[in-house]
Chain A
């Protein structure tokens, strides 16, 4: 395997290459941005229609109360996992190959969470009555139910979102200072001057920076695990058939890491090309990310088996019926699609030659995320279609185009935010890439000296 990064890249060149990405991306950047705006506007149009007409426009009914909205909400929450969590874990483990890729992964976390939050609002239908859900004393005497995982969810997501934004921002301060010092005068310089907070790279600043970054990273690891465990509790603590499974929290956490890693690969490949980051987002780093994704894919597959087995042997006939219905009923193509994309496609990552093949890995990462989206849909919809009471069965419900349109639009919203971010904030951490280059060049020097000493 080649080197993660060349040791002889000049530090000034790192600044130049990354800062250039803020001003001169390839044309594909604008194509992606335009496409994202188009897709997002489809979603906005659908939401306006649903807002005016009511939730019936989504073809939601009783028992199908959550539909694609909550499935997609879980998908986006899951997507958010890998960014900050992996960045924090790899930081604690001193895995320096994270350095060129963690910034965009953390941004992915932030924007996925923002997209997920939208779905809670969209799913409510009556947006104008959102304040009913907010805990404050009022004459209605309506306090939130503190024993409900839905409330824990709101708190956990708020904590994760704000902590992730802080983690992203703190880690970017030295880079804002670099941008402030090296970019030509204009609105960008003013913006970076504000964001850099007067950073000068003094020993006092670095000393406190290191401890802060490490501390926040330590907080983020249990936080990220708790967020998706709590999302899993939304399901596992209910009495619905197919959801009341003990292994749901680790299953959700593994699924979240999995889809997040797959998304990191997709975005890695896009950014590498669009911003000409071939020197920093190197193939050996892609290979490491791919191997990590494969390992998580196998954990997810194992937990899937656990879930199916637990249901099969649980003596809960209705839960078993839901499982059989998933595999043989109207949802079968999607269920098997999930199994294929989530458990079979990852084996492509075992082929050494493909681990560094950009087109193959791009296609694989997209398929993995299709599988992970299907997984969330297969958790929500089949259970609602086949409850404990036969008179609530509704096996043939199909989401309306409005519902599909809003889900589709969310991908545009995420891409739009992400691409705008990458044009404003350096998506490769310049100071950390310099550290990486510095440490590797020191190691190389030591190695050479050792060799000379040996002679």
Chain B
């Protein structure tokens, strides 16, 4: 069955919230509210999560792996380099001195954490990406966009709901 994408623009969050609530309570064949609905907004808006339902964020795992591997890499690289001093006279000083190595380990712990967090962000947020054909520059200004991906049979019902809630504009595009 072919799919259709529809983007409806709203003036404010309250209107968008009303639409999402109706979409969640209405059973529409060929449309899954959990998978086929995207909200586009000009600002970070915690309320979106409230009416959209909690979705997992996995960036903290990237952070953990990045920070630990950064710290471990630093320590073993430095200790490995200091291993070179076996061949040199150290005058009784330790070959791998822990206190100064800890400073560099600490810096690399942070460096690894930051770099891999950003990598995680790019992966989890799906960036860089091509902009979807259904995009309105108004979303980066002051309007809220509701993008749905549904089967052809559901399109009319969805458009009906959007119109009922006074969408400012409705764009649609036939998919595969």
> Which A residues are within 8 Å of any B CB, using their own CB?
10-12, 15, 135, 137, 141, 143, 146-147, 151-152, 155-156, 158-159, 162-163, 166, 170, 173-174, 177-178, 180-182, 197-212, 215-216, 219-220, 222-223, 226, 230, 431-432, 434-435, 438
Contacts and interface: CB of A to CB of B under 8 A. Distances in A.
B142 A155 contact: no
A203 B101 contact: no
Q: Which 10 A-B pairs have the closest CB atoms?
A: A11-B142, A181-B137, A198-B129, A212-B121, A197-B128, A208-B125, A147-B100, A197-B127, A203-B39, A178-B140
A12 B141 contact: yes
A11 B132 contact: no
A434 B129 contact: no
Contact of B124 (A158, A177, A208): A208
Contacts of B44: 206, 209-210, 431, 435
B128 to A, nearest CB: 4
Question: At the interface, is chain A mostly helix, strand, loop or mixed?
Answer: helix
B71 interface: no
Contacts of A146: 78, 81-82, 97, 100-101, 104
Nearest to B54: A207
14 contacts: A135-B81, A141-B84, A143-B82, A155-B108, A156-B107, A162-B111, A178-B140, A201-B41, A202-B40, A203-B41, A203-B52, A205-B125, A212-B118, A216-B117
Interface in B30-61: 38-45, 48-49, 52, 55, 57, 59-60
Interface in B98-125: 100-101, 103-104, 106-108, 110-111, 113-115, 117-118, 120-122, 124-125
A431 B44 CA distance: 8
A158 B110 CA distance: 11
Interface in B45-94: 45, 48-49, 52, 55, 57, 59-60, 63, 78, 81-82, 84-85, 88
Nearest to A148: B100
B118 A170 contact: yes
A208 B57 contact: yes
B130 A216 contact: no
B137 to A, nearest CB: 4
A202 B81 contact: no
A318 to B, nearest CB: 27
B100 A215 contact: no
A15 B104 CA distance: 43
B89 to A, nearest CB: 13
Contact of B97 (A147, A219, A431): A147
Interface in B125-173: 125-132, 135, 137, 139-142, 145, 147
Interface of B: 38-45, 48-49, 52, 55, 57, 59-60, 63, 78, 81-82, 84-85, 88, 97, 100-101, 103-104, 106-108, 110-111, 113-115, 117-118, 120-122, 124-132, 135, 137, 139-142, 145, 147
Nearest to A145: B100
A155 B145 CA distance: 45
Contacts, number: 162
A229 to B, nearest CB: 9
Nearest to A10: B142
A322 to B, nearest CB: 27
Contacts of B139: 200-201
B41 A206 contact: yes
Given A163-B111, A208-B59, A211-B59, A201 B40 contact: yes
Given A11-B142, A146-B78, A207-B55, A200 B132 contact: yes
Nearest to B137: A181
A230 B100 CA distance: 11
Nearest to B88: A141
Contact of A204 (B55, B63, B115, B145): B55
Contact of A143 (B42, B63, B84, B104): B84
B113 to A, nearest CB: 5
Contacts of B52: 203
A15 B113 CA distance: 33
A299 to B, nearest CB: 24
A137 B82 CA distance: 11
A135 B142 CA distance: 52
A197 B131 CA distance: 9
A433 to B, nearest CB: 9
B58 to A, nearest CB: 9
Contacts of A203: 38-41, 48-49, 52, 55
Contacts of A159: 107-108, 110-111, 114
A137 B83 CA distance: 12
Contacts of B122: 197
Contact of A166 (B57, B107, B118, B131): B118
